[in-house]
Amino acid sequence: MSNPAFASLIDAIRGHYRNADFIPLHAPCFNEQAKALVNDCIDTTFVSSVGQYVTRLEEEVAAFTGAKHAVAVVNGTMGLYLALKVAGVRAGDLVLTQSLTFVATANAIKMLGAEPVFIDVDADTYGLSADVLQAFLNEQATLKDGVCMHRASGRRISACVPMHTLGFCAEIDRLIDVCSAFSIPVIEDAAESLGSTLQGRHSGTFGQSGVFSFNGNKIVTTGGGGMLVTNDDALAAHAKHLSTTAKISHAWLFEHDEIAFNLRMPNLNAALGVAQMQQLPDFLREKRALAEKYRGWIETIPGLLSLREPKNSQANYWLNGAILPDLPARDAFLQQSNDAGIQTRPLWTPLHRLPIYADCLRTEMPHTEWLADRVVNLPSGVVCHG
């Protein structure tokens, strides 16, 4: 049965997107420059991982975010893997993260043979809760010779990976304070938050390192790609070395001093990224304007709430969302909007509910469960003028 209040929101969305028959959750928008730079890669034959656009994109992301270094990689997932690897995460370790995230966050931890520990999120930031983290560490962890140990299992706790959910900044300053007291490095999963700032400082630049994704559905895309940012010179150099098969630089010899993979972004993808970075300020402006519109539409519907930018922060509004009153209402809205050709979706199924991660250590999850049962994401791509 169709709900007239939902129908009014659906009509408003359709109107914003110029009455298209199908409105995707997020679609990229390319300018003429993107075509010109990709063509330049083809014309010069520099299509692979050597080429000017890879370093140019690194420089531009570093300048935009204020990070000292940026290392371009094949995607965000492998960026997280690399960030954890250079942080010293090893097989058998525990790594703290949130359950309310895309599966890649936990998969990157597993890729190193470590185990995720799921911590509940905060109700106001939708990211890892500093209070819950503090309580967990106080109860279950101890510092031993400068190393954080999980008392019951005797395992090292070697990193913490908060995620800036949907581009809303997590309480990253408080999380770093909590982790510092236990000597735990913080790696920010900033895959969704390029353009988001907290107290004027860019997400991804608070922790030891941060990782952005340039997947096709993110605010800036390179087709597939990612970027690790850090202010640590040695860490950046090590990450770049490990992303290029740990080959010792030499004009003709092939010598490698670690077992490492080819994770470097190809020039073709980077060319797309350089053109996209020019559009990023416009994307951010348009997304903020759309978020304002959504707030108006959503808050006229009784029982619906919009997602709120946390205090002292600027979200990139990568994906807009609405909070429905309960799970049946959420599902009714998803049905009605998708039937009408408006692509909407729930948040990710919390990872602790997936059979592949059900056995992991975790805290209680009241905020994770509450949000997962109620939040829907709404079409948020920019209206593209080409």
Ligand X SMILES: *Cc1c(COP(=O)(O)O)cnc(C)c1O
| Residues contributing to the site for ligand X (CB under 6 A) | 75-77, 101-102, 104-105, 163, 189, 191-192, 213, 215, 226
What is the Cα–Cα distance from 68 to 78, expressed in whole angstroms? 20
What is the Cα–Cα distance from 167 to 320, expressed in whole angstroms? 9
Strand partners, 262: 244
Closer CB to ligand X, residue 60 or residue 189? Answer: 189
What is the Cα–Cα distance from 86 to 345, expressed in whole angstroms? 35
Closer CB to ligand X, residue 81 or residue 182? Answer: 81
Instruction: Quote the least distance from Cβ 202 to ligand X, whole Å.
Output: 17
**SS3 call for 51:** coil
- What is the Cα gyration radius of the chain? 21
- Which residue is closest to ligand X by CB? 76
Closer CB to ligand X, residue 149 or residue 277? Answer: 277
Closer CB to ligand X, residue 98 or residue 336? Answer: 98
Give the residue from 299, 298, 336, 293 showing the smallest Cα distance to 317.
293
Task: Give the H or E element holding residue 72.
Answer: strand 69-73
Task: Using the CB atoms, write b or e for 164-190: b if 16+ within 10 Å.
Answer: bbbbbbbbbebbbebbeebebbbbbbb
Mutual orientation of helices 76-86 and 104-111 as an angle, nearest 10°? 40
> What is the sign, positive or negative, of the torsion defined by CA atoms of 328, 329, 334, 339?
positive
Contact 305, 326 (CB under 8 A): no
Beta-carbon contacts of residue 281 (< 8 Å; ≥ 6 apart): none
Beta-carbon contacts of residue 273 (< 8 Å; ≥ 6 apart): 53, 57, 214, 220, 221, 222, 225, 265
Instruction: Quote the least distance from Cβ 233 to ligand X, whole Å.
Output: 25
Closer CB to ligand X, residue 62 or residue 211? Answer: 211
Give the residue from 213, 212, 205, 250 showing the smallest Cα distance to 230.
205
> What is the sign, positive or negative, of the torsion defined by CA atoms of 263, 264, 268, 274?
positive
What type of residue is 89? V
Instruction: Quote the least distance from Cβ 322 to ligand X, whole Å.
Output: 19
